[in-house]
Copies of this chain bind each other. A is one copy, B any other.
Amino acid sequence: MKKYVHIFNDMKNKIIDGTYVSNQKLPSEKQLSEHYQVSKMTMKQALDNLVDDGLIIKKRGSGTFVKDLSADELVRMSLTNQFRGKTAEYPQEKVTSKILAFSVINPSPLIQQKLNISAEDFVYFLHRVRKINDQPFVIEETHMPVSLIRDLKRSHVEQSIYEYIETELQYKIQSVHRKITVRQSTAAEVSELDMTEGDPVGIVEQVGYLSNGAAFEYSISTHRYDRFKSEMILKRESV
C-alpha cells in the first residue's frame, strides 16, 4: 500500500469518526510526518489529497484545519465516490435497459467533432431507456467509436456499458467532461419515462475519455427530474 494513501485513509477516518472535529487545528506537517514516519513531501501529498476531497483546509503560516463540515456533509463524504455508471450507483437495485436503437453508422459532423474522428469512421449509435426496478429514469443517446469499443453486443448494452469497458475490455475510464442543462420534456420523453405532461427533465451532455486519452463516448442523457441529482466540489484555482 502506498504510504500517502494509507495516511489519507487513516486521517479521513479520524475526521469521520470524530477523532478530529470541525475546525480543529491538526498537528503540523512536520509533526505528522514524524508520527507517520514519512518525509515531509509524502505527508504533504496525503494532506493535499484531503484538501481535494474537501475535508481539510490549509493556511500557510498558520496551520492545517479540519473543515467546518456539517453532520450531513460528513455522512455524504464517508460514502462519496466520484462518477460511476448508473449500474454501479444502485448496486442493490435491478437496473435494466430497453433498447430503442442499436446500430453502427457513420458519424454526423457534430459527433465527428465531439469524438475527434472522421466521417469515414464508424460509430455505434445506442438509444436506450434505463430503468431501476422497472421504473424508467433516463433516456440515453450514446455514440462510441467502433475502433475503440470492439465487439459491443446487445447483451452488453442491456446491462452496463461501463462494466463491459472496464471489466471485459480492461480499459480504464480516465475522465468525463460534462455539461448539465434543464428543459421541458417532449411528448416522446413523457411517454418513455412514464411522466406527466409538462414535467421537466435534466439533460447531461458528456464526452468520456479513456486512460489512453481517446474520446470513447459522446452521450446525451435525459433524466426524469425526480430521479436526477448531481453533486460536486468546486475549488478556487489550484494552480
Contacts and interface: CB of A to CB of B under 8 A. Distances in A.
Given A67-B209, A200-B182, A236 B174 contact: yes
Contacts of A114: 70
A57 B202 contact: no
Interface string A92-120: 00000000000000000000011110000
Contacts of A207: 70, 73
B54 A179 contact: no
B59 A231 contact: no
Contact of A68 (B116, B179, B230): B116
A65 interface: yes
Complex copy number for this chain: 2
Contacts of A182: 182, 200-202, 223, 225, 228
A20 to B, nearest CB: 12
Given A68-B209, A238-B52, A233 B175 contact: yes
Most buried by B among A4, A198, A200: A200
Interface of A: 4-5, 8, 22-23, 41, 49, 52-54, 56-57, 59, 65-73, 82-83, 113-116, 172-184, 198-202, 207, 209, 211-215, 223, 225-226, 228-239
30 contacts: A23-B214, A41-B41, A49-B238, A57-B211, A59-B211, A59-B212, A65-B212, A65-B213, A66-B213, A67-B209, A67-B213, A68-B116, A69-B215, A70-B115, A70-B116, A72-B113, A82-B234, A82-B235, A175-B234, A175-B236, A176-B233, A176-B234, A177-B232, A181-B229, A182-B182, A182-B202, A182-B223, A183-B225, A184-B200, A200-B200
